[in-house]
Amino acid sequence: MKQLFETSATTTGGRNGHVKSADGVLDFNLKLPTQLGGDGGNYTNPEQLFAAGYSACFDSALQMISGKEKLKIESATTANIGLAMTDPNSYELTAVLDVDIKGVDRAKAQELLEKAHAICPYSVALKGNVDVKINLK
């Protein structure tokens, strides 16, 4: 394996703490969402950050696949990431991708989704761990 890129971020204080990336681009407070008993408000949380990363990564994979096939598409990917309690002491993520693809018919769009899911690093990392549902809009 040839590593192409690495980055890092450090959090202090957990879900009610502060996160900062090594390059300082990310530098903000975290708060528990109100649904988990926190203050919520104008703060982010780990699931929201994961959703942002997954949607960007998946949409990039989709663009790469369509480019290799010389297809001109417009796409938008929404990652819906949830936190589920499996028992009183255990949690897991849930993931649903809602993807809108314009420029190809529905059958081709579905094929592109499947190919993107096979190569997206987030999808690959979740494989066997999180049941990712993908909806073609």
pLDDT of residue 122: 98
Q: 32 and 72, same structural domain?
A: no
My answer on whether 67 and 110 are in the same domain is: yes
| Number of domains, the chain | 2
Is the domain of 54 the same as that of 38?
Answer: no
pLDDT at site 39: 86
The CA–CA distances, whole Å, from 105 to 72, 93, 94 equal 12, 32, 29
Report the pLDDT value the prediction gives residue 32, as an integer from 0 to 100. 93
pLDDT at 22: 97
- For the chain, 137 residues long, the average pLDDT of each consecutive 10-residue run is 95 96 96 90 94 98 98 98 93 97 98 98 97 97
CA dist., res. 63 & res. 99, Å (int): 12
Sheet holding 27-29, edge to edge: 9-12, 18-21, 27-29
With contact defined as beta carbons under 8 Å apart, do 18 and 29 qualify? yes
Query: In the prediction, which pLDDT does 117 show?
Result: 98
Measured distance CA(19)–CA(40) in Å, rounded: 16
Q: What is the pLDDT of residue 63?
A: 98
Whichever domain contains 22, its CATH number is 2.20.25.10
- Provide the residue range defining the domain that includes 129: 46-136
Same domain assignment for residues 67 and 129 = yes
User: Which residues are within 8 A (CB) of 3 and not within 5 positions of it... i.e. 6 or more apart?
Assistant: none
CATH number at 62 reads: 3.30.300.20
Q: What is the pTM of this model?
A: 0.94
- Looking at the structure, tell me whether residues 82 and 94 fall in a common domain: yes
Q: Are residues 34 and 53 in the same domain?
A: no
* 37 vs 103: CA distance, rounded Å: 43
User: Are 32 and 89 within one domain?
Assistant: no
User: Which pLDDT score is estimated for 61?
Assistant: 98
Same domain, residue pair 97 and 34: no
- Do residue 127 and residue 60 come from a single domain? yes
Q: Residue 132 has what pLDDT?
A: 97
